[in-house]
A and B are shown apart, each in its own frame.
Chain A
């Protein structure tokens, strides 16, 4: 049942749409489309919009001077890669208007975005791509100060380097604890790729050490492939504690680096706490996030179910069967751009068909993947049956090597498409 807020929002919205939309669109030779967020979703969408219709006035709002990409940041933690390889500037965005400010509020009725310097910018259509906010109110003891001791490293940047440096400084024989959240969260296979690459580092540099995964779930992405590889490459090094064995962390104490679960408490030398997440703050203030903290969308247009003329793409959106990944974000952004470009010219948007492919590294030269094809069904993005799935459980090392190489080249291709 839709919430009361959604119903009221919807009613107000359709009146606003009727009053505003038509005259505005017809009056503007260069309709203004504003994109908030310069990650894989937002940067892809701004670029695609301009490619689709050069006469759109496309503005990208992003406060940072560079983007730090999460895919492959687990390799940085393990000392296999520099952070520079994760860093992408915003200097190749051609005639897309780039505003280096933070969007702080949206007036959905007047169709304006307010920026942190008090100015505002109008739009015919708005695309929000705010990614995730880490919740510092969901796990007792885990706030922003605690993250300086027990890093999440779930946004690439200083947190990645903090965890990397902690691992480098840990004496041999230490205990690393990684706590993984319940679904949904950014990058479902990410915690397990991270565990693999940390295990690789421990095996090669600190072989008497141990890694424990405390998990709020009983199952995870590519699980059989990860577990088989762990048995083969890291026997006795990784211990996975699922929800049903007391894996859910209910409280942390940064002072003693202790993680408390329903079944007891664990003291860590290094604690990597990946907390629960929700859509980035602007989604909450724009009224496009529901009680789950994420944003319900129309699967054809990516338009919010709660506010008219606001579209949401990437990790912040409720993508149905699509996981929250950089690949999904890029694919959704291009489909959304096509829909927005059609809508501002009063054309019918086409039914999209999307792909996701996520690679995970278990060790250098050992890659695995999960893929899916998606299309709108019953109001959600649903998987096309008979397609998709994971790498085979049994495969020669040459296949794992090939997938590791493809993972690297996928990263090069997608970042070059998104950031130029």
Chain B
């Protein structure tokens, strides 16, 4: 859990603390402001694991695993319906940045307002 998440309930309950919290929040990373370009588009198909979708959730995967799977999609080594077509649109470097963001704790990515 990030410090941002821990601050949130307090922010909701007590508005009088808002100025202090604003300062604290500014110092912590915003929810997915730090997301790699392209990462936000993944969640259109890949939701939280709790949804129980046939499209696998990306939660709980190590960055190296995601990079390896994307490589396998790109090369055709792993069979796919659409991921082979999508993976070819990303460079190695872009994939790595997205994978590192996806490997962050779930709460940091699927936070609801």
A residues with CB within 8 A of B: 29, 47-48, 50-55, 58, 92-96, 327, 330-331, 334-335, 338, 341-342, 350-355, 357, 369, 371-373, 384, 386-389, 391, 399, 402-403, 405-406, 408-410, 412-414, 416-417, 420
Contact = CB atoms under 8 A, between A and B. Distances in A.
B20 interface: no
Contacts of A408: 54
Interface in B25-73: 25, 30-33, 35, 37-38, 40-47, 51, 53-55
15 contacts: A51-B112, A58-B113, A95-B113, A338-B33, A352-B37, A353-B94, A355-B44, A357-B82, A357-B86, A369-B82, A386-B89, A387-B88, A389-B85, A406-B54, A417-B44
Contacts of A386: 88-89
A56 to B, nearest CB: 10
A412 B44 CA distance: 10
Contacts of A94: 112-113
Nearest to B109: A51
Given A51-B32, A413-B46, A350 B37 contact: yes
A405 B54 contact: yes
A373 B11 CA distance: 38
A55 B25 contact: yes
Contacts of B55: 406, 409-410, 413
B111 A51 contact: yes
The 3 closest A-B pairs by CB, nearest first: A373-B89, A387-B89, A353-B38
Interface residues of B, number: 36
Contacts of A338: 33, 35, 40
A88 to B, nearest CB: 15
A284 B63 CA distance: 45
Contact of B86 (A55, A92, A387, A414): A387
B53 A54 contact: no
B12 A95 contact: yes
B89 A355 contact: yes
B78 interface: no
Contact of B112 (A350, A373, A420): A420
Contact of B45 (A95, A334, A399, A413): A413
Given A53-B33, A54-B8, A357-B44, A391 B89 contact: no
Contacts of A413: 43-47, 51, 53, 55
B113 A341 contact: no
Nearest to A335: B40
Main SS at interface, chain B: loop
Given A55-B25, A353-B38, A417-B43, A50 B113 contact: yes
Contacts of B85: 371, 387-389
A372 B43 CA distance: 15
A48 B90 CA distance: 23
Given A54-B8, A357-B82, A402-B81, A410 B45 contact: yes
Nearest to A49: B113
Contacts of A414: 44-45
A89 to B, nearest CB: 15
Contacts of B43: 413, 417
Nearest to A46: B113
A346 to B, nearest CB: 13
Nearest to A29: B22
Contact of A51 (B12, B31, B86, B88): B31
B104 to A, nearest CB: 14
Interface string B86-113: 1111100010000000000000000111
Contacts of B35: 338
B22 A55 contact: yes
A358 to B, nearest CB: 10
The listed residue with most B CB atoms (<10 A of its CB), out of A48, A387, A388, A399, is A387
A94 B12 CA distance: 11
A413 B45 CA distance: 6
A199 to B, nearest CB: 24
A181 to B, nearest CB: 26
Nearest to A402: B81
Given A353-B94, A413-B46, A384 B89 contact: yes
A306 B42 CA distance: 31
Contact of B44 (A95, A327, A403, A420): A327
B30 A53 contact: yes
Contacts of B38: 352-355, 373
Interface in B6-28: 8, 11-12, 22, 25
A96 B113 CA distance: 7
Contacts of A354: 38, 41
Contacts of B32: 51-52
A355 B85 CA distance: 11
A373 B22 contact: no
